[in-house]
Structure 1
Amino acid sequence: MNWIDIRREALFLISKKSIVALLIIATLLSIFSVWTGSVEIAQQRATIQRLIDADELDRKAVTEQYHDYGYIAYYTFHLTYAPPSPLAFAALGVRDVYPWKHRIRMLALEGQIHESDTQNPELALAGKIDFTFVVAVFSPLLLLLLLHDMRASERAASRYDFLMVTRRHRYNLWPLRAGITVALLWLALIIPFIAGALFNGVTVGLIILVSLTVAAYLSGWAVLCYWVSRIHASAPVLASLILGAWLLTTFIIPSAGNVIIDKYYNGPHGGAVLMTQREAVNDAWDLPHETTMAAFLENHPQWAGKTDTNSLFEWKWYYAFQQVGDEKVQPLAEAYQQTAKDRYETAGWVALLSPATLLQRQLTQWADTDATAAWQYNDKVRSFHAELRHFYYPLLFNDKDFEKAALQKRPEFDTVKKSDE
């Protein structure tokens, strides 16, 4: 095999209108996915910036209007968000399923986290046509069309025997032709991705890693197509065999796996967490203050001796029963998240039988758009809410007089800080 062989096969391939048409389709699909993904991420970034500006104005207005820690804690919203990573444009993952922004208050938290979480199982069935989807789902079909009849078409044209006799080496015909075809398809898919990655600020190392992963994925399907093309059968029969493998691994196995996993791992839904907490908070209005404070002190003994109330409504009692509502629903919330994690981990084993699913999981992991990233964001929200409580509780339970300067020490949500800090 030498440069002359490569040039000959490359010129032969690009002279075929069907191959050129398929490569153009691949390029257009890649451009469309990169463009729509970039637009989506740009809109998310613009939304975050708009909310940051509005959040700052809203907090200033609340601070100017109220001069009581309880009222300020009640009316002040705090924006929390998970900014998209540079690679998110190529792998949107579950950012259209799990919330990536919340405006939270000093009220019971779990309800605020889960109020937009009740439709997640249904929404998870749908997806967007991002670059990862194009590569994982569409590229095997394009390879099928490009490679399945590589030998069959030559047999139909009565050129097969002549080519076999005149070839100089066993590797300078069919393997070379298949390799050049895969390389052309890879370039058609990856060039728009590289342009989008550079535009979105993806590091060179990650661009290379994604490019090599796509090349490996295409190579795996190419090997299957090449092996099937060796079978002495008509082109439609060969195409049916490859199409069957594509349907089995891309749709049937993942769908069947999801059904089995959902039935095996039973747990509460986000709506159950939300309703249980609301009931606990609403019921607290009818309970004696002493009952609420006793439940509060079980997990917050440092405020013993400072929970007495002298009126029907006091802010420290109000926020105490909000916290008790969170604590009552905590086992349910933990069971919900553990069930989701168990399902996701088990789905990872199923993905070993589905190259398309495995590719999508890997790219969304690199892009921080998988379910794990969504759970980490929720944990950061919980940590931030705990910081708010630690800031307000001393002011409320120690009956501190209002000082505007004290609010300067109020915590701010940090998108970088880890949830366990």
Structure 2
Amino acid sequence: MTFAAIGQRDIYPWKHRIRMLAIEGQIYESDADNPELSFLGKFDFAFVISVLLPLFVILLLHDLRASEREAGRYDLLITTATKRQSLWLSRAIVICSALAIAILTPFIIGALYSAAAWGDILIVMAIVIAHLVFWMLVTLTFIASAKAAKQSSAQIASILLGAWLFISVIIPVSSDIALNEIVHTPKGGDIVLTQREAVNDAWDLPFSATWEPFLSAYPQWKDHTEMDSQFEWKWYYAFQEVGDQKAGAISQAYRHALIEKDTLAGYLALLSPSMLTQRLLSSIAQTDTQASLQYEQQVRDYHAALRLFYYPLLFSKEPFSLEKLNNLPEFSANPEHNKTLKDNQ
């Protein structure tokens, strides 16, 4: 379902080549994407539904009454109609039904091609229809008002487009700016810089500067830190671990800030149906902030399992064999699998 809602995948890295080196630098480094494609911006199904769909509804329905009034047919239509309101409502339903079919057909084809779950497909369709109905009712309510009866179709369109601009653009943009001002978020670059400076400085520091913080986390290796030369792999990977420890506080603050901003954004989304629709679609596609943080934790659990697999080979100098290689941890999309790997090592 990712094809329908990119969500936060254009903000948070989601492709990683995980090695046993310091994890913070691997987590927050940017994805290697084509820079020319990035100029296109984020244009997906969620954007079409949350931002463009209201425009389509307004453009199709704004002159539903005004065009008949300008053509001189309005009085005849309401005189011959059994129920005046049902006349405009039935027309709007027919038009919006055609619009729904035009928008949902490509989505259904893409979802079936991607082998998406039927439950997710039906939920997305329900969200799309609900959003369409909301804007249909907003448009019908306004064009039925006494104010709209005195205005031309162009004036009605201008007012409705102003409402769309406020609800679909100004509120989301203002919310994003407000959240950035309210919640202080450390930068991912600061986390990477702190970790890399700690790793690079370790080459020029005494061995004890690495072993002391490392053994505070892994005291079981305190009797295996002796070194026969100026470089050994156990020392190398130990100061990689220490680099992560020094960046750990900033990294944790970054995660807490993301969670706080996402929680507040959920409340602010109630003010904008377009913003709420986009969040719901991203949640279904598992490309929202919560899914990103869950995936990041899976990567961290896998990385921890790698370290716990190799440390006995590095510190106790156990003989390596192909049989042991068969127990090498493998990443899985199942979060419980990676956590179990880490716990079992």
Helix, strand or coil at the partner of 1:304: helix
Contact 2:13–2:29, Cα closer than 8 Å, also in 1: no
Letter in 2 for 1:359: T
Which residue, out of 142, 155, 168, partners 2:82? 168
What's the counterpart of residue 343 of structure 2? none
Letter in 2 for 1:377: Y
Take 2:32 and 2:259, find their aligned partners in 1: how far apart are those partners? 17
What's the counterpart of residue 372 of structure 1? 290
Take 2:231 and 2:322, find their aligned partners in 1: how far apart are those partners? 23
Distance 1:299 1:277, change over 3 A: same
How far the C-alpha of 1:420 sits from its partner, in A, is: 4.1
Take 2:93 and 2:180, find their aligned partners in 1: how far apart are those partners? 41
Take 1:272 and 1:118, find their aligned partners in 2: how far apart are those partners? 19
What's the counterpart of residue 187 of structure 2? 269
How far the C-alpha of 1:359 sits from its partner, in A, is: 0.7
What's the counterpart of residue 10 of structure 2? 96
What's the counterpart of residue 56 of structure 2? 142
Helix, strand or coil at the partner of 2:286: coil
Contact 1:118–1:269, Cα closer than 8 Å, also in 2: no
Which residue, out of 205, 228, 231, partners 2:142? 228
The size of the alignment, in residue pairs, is 332
Question: In percent, how many aligned pairs have the same letter?
Answer: 47
Take 1:398 and 1:212, find their aligned partners in 2: how far apart are those partners? 59
Which residue, out of 192, 196, 211, partners 2:125? 211
How far the C-alpha of 1:252 sits from its partner, in A, is: 0.7
Matches of residues 245-324 of structure 1 in structure 2 within 5 Å?
245-324=163-242
Letter in 2 for 1:296: F
Distance 1:402 1:204, change over 3 A: closer
What's the counterpart of residue 129 of structure 1? 43
Take 2:143 and 2:165, find their aligned partners in 1: how far apart are those partners? 18
Name which of structure 1's ranges 275-284 and 373-382 shifts more when overlaid on structure 2.
373-382
Letter in 2 for 1:250: S
What's the counterpart of residue 393 of structure 1? 311
TM-score by length of 2: 0.91
Q: Deviations over 1:248-307 (max 9, x none)?
A: 011111111111111111121011000101111111112221232121111111222222
- 5+ long unaligned stretches in structure 1: 1-86
Contact 1:117–1:271, Cα closer than 8 Å, also in 2: no
What's the counterpart of residue 152 of structure 1? 66
What's the counterpart of residue 33 of structure 1? none
How far the C-alpha of 1:171 sits from its partner, in A, is: 4.2
TM-score by length of 1: 0.75
Helix, strand or coil at the partner of 2:91: helix
Which residue, out of 11, 23, 26, partners 1:112? 26
How far the C-alpha of 1:308 sits from its partner, in A, is: 2.1
Name which of structure 1's ranges 326-335 and 295-304 shifts more when overlaid on structure 2.
295-304
How far the C-alpha of 1:217 sits from its partner, in A, is: 0.3
How far the C-alpha of 1:124 sits from its partner, in A, is: 11
Take 2:21 and 2:116, find their aligned partners in 1: how far apart are those partners? 38
Contact 1:281–1:322, Cα closer than 8 Å, also in 2: yes
Distance 1:267 1:292, change over 3 A: same
Take 1:181 and 1:211, find their aligned partners in 2: how far apart are those partners? 17
Letter in 2 for 1:354: S
How far the C-alpha of 1:172 sits from its partner, in A, is: 3.4
Take 2:176 and 2:39, find their aligned partners in 1: how far apart are those partners? 10
Q: Deviations over 1:116-157 (max 9, x none)?
A: 1799xxx99984221121121111111111111111111111
Take 1:124 and 1:197, find their aligned partners in 2: how far apart are those partners? 24
Letter in 1 for 2:18: I
Take 1:264 and 1:184, find their aligned partners in 2: how far apart are those partners? 43
Helix, strand or coil at the partner of 1:305: helix
Q: Deviations over 1:297-323 (max 9, x none)?
A: 111112222222232111211111111
Q: Deviations over 1:392-416 (max 9, x none)?
A: 1111111223334322211111122
Which residue, out of 317, 340, 356, partners 2:274? 356
- 5+ long unaligned stretches in structure 2: 341-345
